[in-house]
Amino acid sequence: MKINHHPDASTLMSYAAGSLPEVLSAVVAAHIEVCPRCAAEVAEMERIGASLFERIEAVPMLEPALGANEKSSTQELAQLLDTRFAAEDPDESVLTRLLGRELSDVHWKRLGFGIWHHPIQLSPGTQGDLRLIKVAPGQVMPEHGHGGSELTLVLEGAYSDETGCYRTGDVSDLGDDVEHRPISDPSEGCICLIASEQKARFKDVVARIFQPLTGL
C-alpha cells in the first residue's frame, strides 16, 4: 500500500500524548495500523513522552508538589497511550473492533443518491461523530466546512477534493478553516472512515434542509 497523505505532526503528537479527542483518535489508530511511517513516529513520540515523565519524577524537588491526584492521572495517561484502540485479539483490526464486525458485513443505510453511511458508536458521552461513508463511482458530495477538525481515512477506492487525491490508506486531516467538495473515484468510488469534532456546515440549501435526517 503506497500512502501519500498522513495526519499532521500535531495530530500524531496529540494522539501519542493521549490528548486527541476519542473520535479523531479512532481514525489515527486505524491509519497507524496500515502506515509503518506514522506508527514509528507515534512510537518515538510516546518514547520521548515516557522519558520526560521519568525525568520529572526523578527530580526530588518536584516530588513533594505532586499530590495523589496528579500521580493517578499520570498513571492513567500511560495506560491510555497503548490500550485505547489496540485490539485484544492480534488478528482483529482496529476497524473491526470499532464496527463490531467486518467491513464486508456492514448494514449500509442510504443517505442520498449514490451515498450510504453507517454511524459508529463510541463511548457514552463522547463528543463528535464517527461514521463510515460509502460513495458510488464519480459521485460529488455537497460542498461543506466544519466547526472543528475532520479526519478521513480511505478504506477502499479513492476520492479527490481541493486539497488533493486520497487513495486507500491515505488520511485527510482538515482544520475548521477548510471548505471542500469531495468527488469519488470515477471507476472505484470509495469507502471512508470519517471523524468530525462537530457537525458539517453545508453551503447548499437542500443539503442543509436534509442535514437533521442524516445526523451529519
Q: Contact residues for Zn ion (CB under 5 A)?
A: 6, 35, 38
Contact 123, 156 (CB under 8 A): no
Shortest distance (Å) from residue 170 CB to Zn ion: 8
Shortest distance (Å) from residue 107 CB to Zn ion: 30
Considering beta carbons, is residue 22 or 173 the nearer one to Zn ion? 173
Considering beta carbons, is residue 6 or 117 the nearer one to Zn ion? 6
> In terms of Cα–Cα distance, which of 73, 1, 83 is closest to 34?
1
Considering beta carbons, is residue 39 or 81 the nearer one to Zn ion? 39
Shortest distance (Å) from residue 89 CB to Zn ion: 23
Shortest distance (Å) from residue 1 CB to Zn ion: 10
Residues 6+ apart with CB under 8 A from 183: 138, 139, 140, 141, 159, 160, 161
Considering beta carbons, is residue 7 or 142 the nearer one to Zn ion? 7
Considering beta carbons, is residue 139 or 152 the nearer one to Zn ion? 152
90: three-class secondary structure by DSSP: coil
Give residue 212's region: left, alpha or beta (phi > 0; psi -120 to 50).
alpha
> Rounded to whole angstroms, how far apart are CA atoms 110 and 200?
18
Shortest distance (Å) from residue 15 CB to Zn ion: 11
Shortest distance (Å) from residue 111 CB to Zn ion: 28
Considering beta carbons, is residue 12 or 216 the nearer one to Zn ion? 12
Question: What DSSP element (H or E) covers 146?
Answer: strand 144-146
Q: What are phi and psi of 19, to 5 degrees?
A: -105, 0
* Measured CA distances, 214 to 112, 125, 131, 197 (Å): 9, 20, 11, 16
